[in-house]
Chain A
């Protein structure tokens, strides 16, 4: 008997398994068309649509655009992975490995976090290079990006749970969730200037808090108290992880 067998209940083994999942997802899913379309083309399109015909000071727009791009990129990978594995008939084999459901879920979240976090560098560089925007509080910017990407990626993994007939159904679902939230989160218009009803809805979107931190990172006045945003992003992440566990477990064997 090989020695690796009896160690599977240890957290080190599970953590290693999580890294293997991240690597697998990067190899298989980062370059899949749905990820590229909804993770990269979408934010570019929204940026152009917003920019056209609005002579707003670019400096004010940069943080919102970074937050918007992060919203799409970090949540693009999660909804693809599980539905794709189900359809490609690789999922049953994956869940019969000695990895816990948590390792698989955390690995999928890690994939979105890394994808979103890395790609957010692109709008940051563009913003810094072509506008007068400047980072005044790097810590807040990094905090906003990391916690934002984490909670958005977790949302993506939660959305992947339903047993859909094809991955495109889940893509539809994820856009039904992501697009409305995008418009109430203060990325195009600061929350303070949004209509009253939207100001009431804004706090239920993690994007509002991540956007606020990123805005503060660029020296703009935050809408929420500065301590609240990280706390809320952590609360969102925890709740979404719990939901992801619950629903991935419930629907694990459906649609195999």
Chain B
């Protein structure tokens, strides 16, 4: 992702209040062309509310954003013309056939008939739904409906695609298929805004992630950078053959910040896990202890997530 690709979504100080509750509080970020931008946060953090403001469903209380240069408040129709969304828990029209669903959405966006038909057939084919195009959408399973929703979004040829938890509730295979499709789309030039709870998904797919907690952006960067920013949550995991020695002895090793033992495995937190691993090996040899397992671990995105969302909560409590 080069930093000089054009900005597709530019969010400036978005605020949404529901009565006295501030669901989104001054959110700012920008997304460049061809990014897959992950939006992570615990339940109720304000993810869906942010997406709804960007897709023109909710009016912001304050602040604004542009999509392909069009202000969502003053040029709402033009900004919406560039995007398609798969809202959280949305559904297709169950009483229409698959084909009618896809054609209807194309028509609503004014896609010309020939293009709509050709592209619609391609999309249904790519999602493995072409054989069933005459069936009512009611007959589809949840995973297949989600694929059809994606078809109806894509037939409009969006430049920006908003996906609000697109894989939640799907089985492993359907989720993987959706992820593959999204990655392909991205390679074909579509910018993607992906809301998810799934850390692995965010880590695998996203060029950048924002972590939102209680309506505020807590962190925003490449997944790898976020992880390395948390050097103090790196650790060495060790398991001894005859049970762990007393924690104090391990905690006294040079470079170890903190010791945590759990079911025979000991985690030694350190900013220099490589060095600590060496120390552990020497320690074991000196004492004649056998090592069953020794590895260094980087923090997962989940650790990062917990770190940032937890930190904000502590601040709020203070």
Contacts and interface: CB of A to CB of B under 8 A. Distances in A.
B90 A4 contact: no
A51 interface: no
Given A8-B80, A97-B80, A89 B91 contact: yes
Contacts of A93: 85-87, 90, 105, 149, 152
Nearest to A17: B108
Contact of B93 (A21, A90, A96): A90
Given A2-B115, A2-B157, A4-B111, A92 B81 contact: no
B183 interface: no
B34 to A, nearest CB: 14
Contacts of A6: 78, 81
Interface stretch (B94-102, B202-210, B228-236, B308-316): B94-102
A18 to B, nearest CB: 11
A221 B95 CA distance: 47
Contacts of B86: 93
A97 B159 contact: no
Interface string A230-256: 000000000000000000000011001
A49 interface: no
B interface secondary structure, majority: loop
Contact of A88 (B77, B94, B112, B149): B94
Nearest to A27: B96
A85 to B, nearest CB: 9
Contact of B108 (A1, A5, A88, A97): A97
Contacts of B108: 17, 20-21, 94, 97, 99
Interface string A61-81: 000000000000000000000
Contacts of B58: 253
A9 interface: yes
Given A5-B82, A97-B108, A92 B115 contact: no
A144 B162 CA distance: 47
Contacts of A27: 95-96, 100
B111 A92 contact: no
A7 interface: yes
A35 to B, nearest CB: 13
B175 interface: no
A220 interface: no
A252 B149 CA distance: 21
B57 A92 contact: yes
Interface string B124-148: 0000000000000000000000000
Contact of A8 (B77, B85, B90, B152): B77
A95 interface: yes
A2 to B, nearest CB: 5
A88 B87 CA distance: 13
Interface residues of A, number: 32
Contact of B110 (A17, A88, A90, A100): A17
Given A9-B77, A95-B57, A98-B81, A4 B92 contact: no
Contacts of B168: none
Contacts of B149: 93
A26 to B, nearest CB: 12
A28 B93 contact: yes
Contacts of B93: 24, 28, 88, 90
Contacts of B4: none
A28 B95 contact: yes
Interface in B28-81: 52, 55-59, 75, 77-78, 80-81
B81 A90 contact: no
Residue among B81, B95, B96 with most chain A CB within 10 A: B81
A13 interface: yes
Contacts of B104: 20, 24
A48 B93 CA distance: 37
Contacts of A4: 109-112
Contacts of A92: 52, 57, 85, 87, 90
A204 B131 CA distance: 55
Residue among A9, A90, A92, A94 with most chain B CB within 10 A: A92
A28 B100 CA distance: 11
A97 B91 CA distance: 15
Nearest to A97: B108
18 contacts: A2-B157, A4-B111, A5-B81, A7-B110, A20-B104, A24-B104, A88-B94, A89-B90, A90-B91, A90-B92, A90-B93, A96-B56, A96-B80, A96-B83, A97-B80, A99-B108, A100-B77, A253-B59
Given A20-B104, A93-B152, A97-B109, 7 more contacts: A6-B81, A7-B110, A9-B78, A17-B110, A95-B57, A98-B80, A100-B77
Would you list the 5 A-B pairs with minimal beta carbon distance, nearest first?
Answer: A98-B81, A96-B55, A98-B80, A89-B91, A8-B81
